[in-house]
């Protein structure tokens, strides 16, 4: 795989590959993503193939500015504007009725589209250089842990893309928060880099609850996801000699002491999973974090990574 430091020249080269229908791995502030020109259905189709991802699981369209965002949706309701002003660019994705020109392959045939404006300067520069939106899922194989460093990228993905732009470690470390904004109040479909509390503060109203079976609103919300190869078990305490990560554990070759701050914890979680998984162990233990709202995204990812395989 060709890993290249992100520079003006390599960003221009990446945009050139994308314009020709090629795929490029790009850094974002959340996780690394595998990018295709969202206006080219054949390129987007290859993203699904390379990831081994089912076609009905839609992709997030990444834009560089509000003008580009407005070309992808049927309209922006007035109450959504404050969310855009506050969190874009940033780790928030909003789902809105789609513009007719968004290809069906991007949205999995849904009448809605998920849009996000990444905060990473490299991601923004690539989109600006291409002058078109990008479809960018996380750059992991389906059901595996998302990469937060270039070195995490699976060789199958690395070999299938024209280049991997290396932008260093991702600062947020978990995926964006996906919010269904097709009705008011909006609902969180996937917790992530922007907390529920931050969104509620901007809207001045509590977020709606997902209806029972509402997981189907976000077809990507498979219960098992983000999983390492090893079996991940959530425990109260890591016993001496075990492989795992937690707040109390003594740091060692196969143990990691995690930050007590949920934002710092999220930033290192996937790196810790990738590193411990590298050792090829059968079981990784994770000490259960506090059950408070600030930990919602971390709990979601730990739960999905620990779901036994079907
Ligand atoms: O942080 C992120 O969002 C990363 C980086 C690379 O930007 N991208 C990412 O994409 O996590 P992906 O494809 O791994 O996850 C997209 C999620 C899935 O859960 C999918 O079901 C949901 O967004 N989604 C996409 N379009 C949707 C739609 N129209 N309605 C509901 N959910 C949608
Ligand atoms: Mg993903």
Q: What is the pLDDT of residues 51-81, one digit of tens each?
A: 999 999 999 999 999 999 999 999 999 999 9
Best residue for ligand 1 mutational test, from 28, 51, 53, 58 (most atoms within 8 Å of Cβ)? 58
- Is residue 161 a contact partner of residue 136, using CB atoms and an 8 Å limit? no
Distance 193 CA to ligand 2 centre (A): 14
For ligand 1, residues with CB inside 6 Å are: 28, 30-31, 33, 57-60, 91, 93, 95, 107, 110, 112-114, 116, 118, 136-138, 175-176, 178, 189-190, 217-221
pLDDT, tens digit, for every residue of 12-63? Answer: 999 999 999 999 999 999 999 999 999 999 999 999 999 999 999 999 999 9
Q: For residue 220, name the pLDDT band (cuts at 50, 70, 90).
A: low
Place of tokens 């050792």: 279
Q: Ligand 1, atom 12: nearest CA belongs to which residue?
A: 137
pLDDT at 228 over 90: no
Point out the ligand nearest to the CA of residue 30: 1
Show the tokens assigned to 209: 């609850």
b/e sequence 258-293, b meaning 16+ C-beta within 10 Å: beeebbebbbbbbbbbbbbbeeebeebbbbebeeee
Distance 287 CA to ligand 1 centre (A): 28
Peptide bond into 150 cis (omega under 30): no
pLDDT at 1 over 70: yes
CB burial of residue 236 (10 Å; 0-12, 13-18, 19+): exposed
Point out the ligand nearest to the CA of residue 192: 1
Point out the ligand nearest to the CA of residue 33: 1
């Amino acid at each position: 795989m060709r890993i290249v430091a992100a520079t003006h020249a390599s960003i221009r080269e990446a945009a050139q590959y994308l314009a020709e229908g090629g795929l490029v791995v790009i850094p974002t502030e959340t996780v690394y993503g595998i990018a295709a020109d969202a206006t080219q259905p054949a390129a987007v189709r290859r993203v699904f193939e390379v990831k081994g991802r089912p076609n009905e699981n839609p992709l997030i369209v990444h834009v560089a500015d509000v003008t580009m965002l407005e070309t992808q949706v049927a309209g922006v309701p007035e109450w959504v504007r404050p969310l855009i002003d506050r969190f874009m660019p940033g780790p928030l994705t909003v789902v809105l009725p789609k513009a007719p020109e968004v290809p069906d392959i991007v949205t999995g045939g849904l009448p809605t589209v998920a849009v996000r404006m990444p905060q990473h300067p490299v991601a923004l520069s690539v989109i600006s250089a291409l002058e078109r939106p990008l479809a960018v899922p996380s750059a992991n194989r389906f059901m595996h842990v998302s990469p937060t460093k270039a070195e995490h990228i699976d060789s199958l993905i690395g070999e299938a893309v024209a280049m991997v732009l290396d932008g260093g470690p991702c600062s947020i470390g978990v995926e964006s928060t996906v919010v269904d904004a097709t009705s008011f109040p909006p609902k969180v479909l996937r917790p992530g880099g922007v907390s529920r509390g931050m969104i509620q503060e901007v809207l001045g109203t509590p977020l709606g609850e997902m209806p029972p079976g509402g997981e189907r609103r976000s077809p990507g919300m498979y219960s098992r996801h983000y999983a390492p190869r090893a079996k991940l078990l959530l425990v109260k305490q890591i016993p001496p000699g075990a492989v795992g990560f937690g707040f109390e554990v003594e740091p060692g070759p196969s143990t990691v002491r995690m930050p007590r701050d949920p934002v710092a914890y999220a930033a290192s979680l996937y790196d810790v999973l990738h590193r411990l998984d590298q050792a090829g162990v059968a079981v990784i233990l994770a000490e259960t974090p506090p059950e408070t709202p600030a930990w919602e995204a971390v709990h979601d990812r730990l739960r999905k990574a620990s779901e036994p395989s079907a």
